[in-house]
Amino acid sequence: IRGLAEVGATISAIGEGSKDSLDRELRGWLTHYEEVTNVCDENQVLSAVQFIQRRKHVDRLEATVEAHIMPIAKVREVAGIPGTAVRTAFLCRDKPAMKEVLRSGGIPCAASTAASSAAEIRAFAEQVGYPLIVKPRDGAGASGAARVDSDAELEPALRSLGLDRPGRSVAVEEFIEGHEGFYDTLTIR
């Protein structure tokens, strides 16, 4: 935010804390701040964005927390603000779906699947072997992820992920050691 302010950008922010909770320096960089009770509530964020749009053109709407990427993409789409599309945000958040798209484009990935039952995970383990990574599809980063090296370790991992709850789905993938590379930022002009 400081960098944007230093190059002359007009910055409005939407957050869960009160404006008084922001430090003095941060408040100084912001032109406007809108408080919501939940930044993952698309309706609240959309209302805040529309309030700002009635006063000023909004060029971009960005989120820096992984769990906020999807709701912000949906708000962006409704509000007509350019940026990461809902489908792209979904693919960034849902690893089994992302890997399916990558594989269809010829990019090799670790074997993986989405599973909604212990039986599906056991069948995947039988086919692929151990070690496996089991994680919630809606988790952020490695939150809730478990490495499983055997059938004996699988059962407690499944219980901790709440796979017994209706509608719950997890990502399961083969564990591969190696270097993971990624682009954090791409800029144009």
Contacts 24+ apart (CB under 8 A), 37-42: 39/14, 39/15, 39/63, 39/68, 39/71, 40/67, 40/68, 40/71, 41/71, 42/71, 42/74, 42/75, 42/78
What pLDDT does 132 receive? Answer: 94
Judged by average pLDDT, the poorest of 36-40, 72-76, 111-115 is: 111-115
What pLDDT does 35 receive? Answer: 96
Q: Which residues of 18-51 are buried (b: 16+ CB within 10 A; e: fewer)?
A: eeeebeeebeebeeebbebeebeebebbbebbee
Contact 127, 119 (CB under 8 A): no
Average pLDDT over residues 176-188: 77
81 residue type, one letter: I
Task: With a cut of 60, say whether residue 94 has pLDDT above it.
Answer: yes
What pLDDT does 96 receive? Answer: 82
Q: Which two tokens stand for residue 46?
A: 């959309």
Give 140's pLDDT tier (boundaries 50, 70, 90): low
String of DSSP letters for the chain: -HHHHHTT---EEEESS-GGGS-HHHHHH-SEEEE-S-TT-HHHHHHHHHHHHTTS--------SGGGHHHHHHHHHHHT--SS-HHHHHHHH-HHHHHHHHHHTT-----EEEESSHHHHHHHHHHH-S-EEEEETT--TTTT-EEE-SHHHHHHHHHHTTTTSTT--EEEEE---S-----S-----
pLDDT digits (tens, 9 = 90+) for 141-178: 556 788 999 989 988 888 887 776 777 788 899 998 88
